[in-house]
Structure 1
Amino acid sequence: MSEQHVLTERDGAILTIRLNRPDKKNALTRAMYNGMAEALSQAAIDESVRVVILAGGTDFTAGNDIKDFAAVGDRPATEPGAAFSFLETILDFEKPVIAAVRGYAVGIGTTMLLHADVVVASETARLQMPFTKLALVPEAGSSVLLPARVGPARANWWFLSGAPISGAEAAQAGLASRAVPDNEVEPVALEMAKQLAALPPGSVAETKRLVKAPHRAMVKEAMAAERVAFAERLRTSEAQEIFAAFLKK
């Protein structure tokens, strides 16, 4: 695990996985994806962990580090991406996941929320899926999960335009469970985690499984299709020109 950029904290039966790259608004590197996946994998087999909180700090995450996107041409097209491996890990995670979202939650910073069981967002958080602005496509099974969560019309506009969404709007649309003042995000997430941790863990896990079961095959199929399309788009001149221009700024 990246000791510097992905930290873990324990509070009884609650494990917090915290992104810790504040100078880059927690932009995600391959090492950070691997760190989150490793922490989740360890939590999955640790019976003393009952709930996981995903948190950042002032910002949740500004999304994928653009340098990683720009360097994709140096890696074999068949090489599994760290981001997609992390997404598969969180998809298969059987214990409750609560996301505490402050500041920026961009790209995968928004789509990963679709795999959290509870999302506590700052009213002033800025969620955004600017895939088309980067010449890319959605991932994380979001092409299926987001329309199901917020409705096709709203999802279409958010995807196609890449328009920003406030935490308050996300809660109103159903993408977030609650929107609270910024300084209350982590205390509220922790209190909700304590409520879940106090419940019978077998019952909680089975309830989560039943809720997700009807759409599981569809989500896995969507993630596989998105993965292929995303990899193809990363290697287009259209996308690489956008990344190069961004890095020159």
Structure 2
Amino acid sequence: METKVETGTDIIVSRDEGVLTIAFNRVAKKNAITVAMYRAMADGLAEAAADPAVRAILLRGDETVFCAGNDLADFMKNPPSGQDAPVFQFLQGIASTRKPVVAAVAGAAIGIGTTMLLHCDLVYAAENARFSLPFAQLGLCPEAASSILLPQLAGYHRAAEKLLLGEAFDASEALDMGLVNRVLPVERLNAFALGQAKKLAALPPSSLRATKSLMKDANREAILARIVEEGVQFSKMLLAPEAREALTAFAEKRRADFSKFD
């Protein structure tokens, strides 16, 4: 039987047959992530890591939207002040977890809504999924170690196209570049992803840990270090004039003008 624990109105953590699900629950705001939501997700990952009854983790949103990235207004009011900030706790947690992580992505996956997927072991997308990495467009830099992980996954030139131009791409292209495992009709997505997570939860946990560690450990320290490095740069750029212009233009629904910057 599924049990639900509401760790906040915008994040719901539930358990079902060894699977701990972390679900975005802020559809009216396109599941844009606030500081409180990062804290709840980090707590969910920590709970999963500490509990041997949890054998797999599932991340999902709504059938209409996965995650529109950071809530920019909240992010500007509460910028990360150090590596203890909830956003970095979440990123360190998802990069470090020894348990398999499955993601179900429908609708928009923007910014960290896409980069968090690079740390998942299995990613399933609905036919309506749309991905984008608009960091450069916002006067910012990549995060979540995506500056390492995306080139490794897709090759340098394809990663550069996504990270420099920040243009959206669909589920079919995400499948072609290896970001997702399979594309499904939206009405099948969440049930299928949960089923895959339950399959993992039924397997010997020691073999899952060993297999994931053998695939990831050679790169793990570099990934964790890059999360820190990107975070320092991101925090500086968030307060710089270029980002201010980009975010102000976004709020005012106008085209940003970067012609005065060199």
TM-score in terms of structure 2 length: 0.90
Residue identity in the other structure for 2:70: N
SS state of the match for residue 44, structure 2? helix
Matches within 5 A, 1:219-238: 219-238=223-242
Aligned partner of 1:43 among 45, 48, 52: 48
**Deviation, structure 1 residue 171:** 1.1
Q: Give the whole-Å Cα distance in 2 for the aligned partners of 1:51 and 1:133.
A: 35
Structure 2 residue 61 is matched with structure 1 residue 60 = no
Unaligned runs of 5+ in 1: none
Structure 2 residue 169 is matched with structure 1 residue 174 = no
Q: 1:7 matched to which residue of 2?
A: 12
The answer to whether the 8 Å contact 1:13/1:51 transfers is: yes
The answer to whether the 8 Å contact 1:69/1:243 transfers is: no
**Deviation, structure 1 residue 118:** 0.4
SS state of the match for residue 48, structure 1? coil
Q: Give the whole-Å Cα distance in 2 for the aligned partners of 1:76 and 1:151.
A: 30
Cα RMSD (Å):
1.5
Q: Give the whole-Å Cα distance in 2 for the aligned partners of 1:2 and 1:201.
A: 26
Aligned partner of 2:194 among 190, 196, 199: 190
Per-residue CA deviation, residues 98-129 of structure 1 (Å, 9 max, x unaligned), is: 01000010000000000001000112201100
- Name whichever structure is richer in helix by fraction: 1
Q: Give the whole-Å Cα distance in 1 for the aligned partners of 2:179 and 2:173.
A: 9
Structure 2 residue 132 is matched with structure 1 residue 128 = yes
Residue identity in the other structure for 1:4: T
SS state of the match for residue 60, structure 1? strand
Return closer, same or farther for 1:86/1:53 CA change in 2, 3 Å cut-off.
same
Q: Give the whole-Å Cα distance in 2 for the aligned partners of 1:18 and 1:76.
A: 23
Identity %: 45
**Deviation, structure 1 residue 10:** 1.6
Residue identity in the other structure for 1:13: G
The answer to whether the 8 Å contact 2:135/2:163 transfers is: yes
